[in-house]
């Protein structure tokens, strides 16, 4: 639907890049699921914080070298509380997922758009 007057929307590209494509996919899956259900001040929806425009939600980009494999997911929200808390949410989600999935050799990016 079209944005209502004064309503905001946040698009988010989450990228995981590393040498092992399957490991990248696993790490992105943890990030996506955690981000989808992360609790934050002002949250109203407990079933999910984000919308995903693609199915399947993850995209794979295989580069020319072994360390140039990337997996991406695109999502978005119109939740004002999520948008307001965005920086804190992605910082905390990234830190939490790194405790579950070692990521020393992975590059993880959260790109708002």
pLDDT tens sequence across 9-37: 999 999 999 888 899 999 999 999 999 99
Examine residue 32 and state whether it is found in any structural domain, yes or no: yes
Examine residue 2 and state whether it is found in any structural domain, yes or no: no
pLDDT tens sequence across 31-56: 999 999 999 999 987 788 899 998 99
Examine residue 3 and state whether it is found in any structural domain, yes or no: no
Secondary structure element (H or E) that encloses residue 97, with its range: helix 86-100
Range of the domain at 58: 10-112
| Six token digits for residue 97 | 């997922």
CA distance 2 to 4: 6
φ, ψ for residue 112 (rounded to 5)?
-75, 145
Examine residue 106 and state whether it is found in any structural domain, yes or no: yes
Examine residue 85 and state whether it is found in any structural domain, yes or no: yes
The rounded percent of the chain whose pLDDT value lies above 90 is 64
Q: What angle do CA 5, 10, 13 make, to 5 degrees?
A: 155
Examine residue 1 and state whether it is found in any structural domain, yes or no: no
Contacts of 84 (CB under 8 A, 6+ apart): 42
Q: Identify each DSSP E strand in the chain by its residue range.
A: 10-18, 58-62, 69-77, 107-112
Domain containing residue 30: CATH number: 3.30.70.260
Quote the number of domains for the chain: 1
């Amino acid at each position: 639907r079209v944005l209502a007057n004064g309503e905001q929307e946040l698009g988010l590209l989450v990228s995981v890049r590393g040498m092992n494509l399957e490991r990248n996919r696993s790490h992105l899956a943890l990030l996506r699921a955690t981000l989808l259900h992360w609790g934050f001040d002002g949250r109203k929806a407990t079933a999910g914080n984000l919308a995903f425009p693609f199915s399947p939600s993850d995209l794979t980009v295989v580069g020319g070298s072994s360390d140039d494999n990337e997996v991406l997911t695109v999502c978005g929200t119109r939740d004002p509380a999520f948008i307001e808390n965005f920086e804190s949410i992605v910082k905390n989600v990234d830190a939490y997922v790194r405790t579950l999935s070692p990521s020393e050799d992975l590059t993880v990016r959260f790109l708002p758009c």
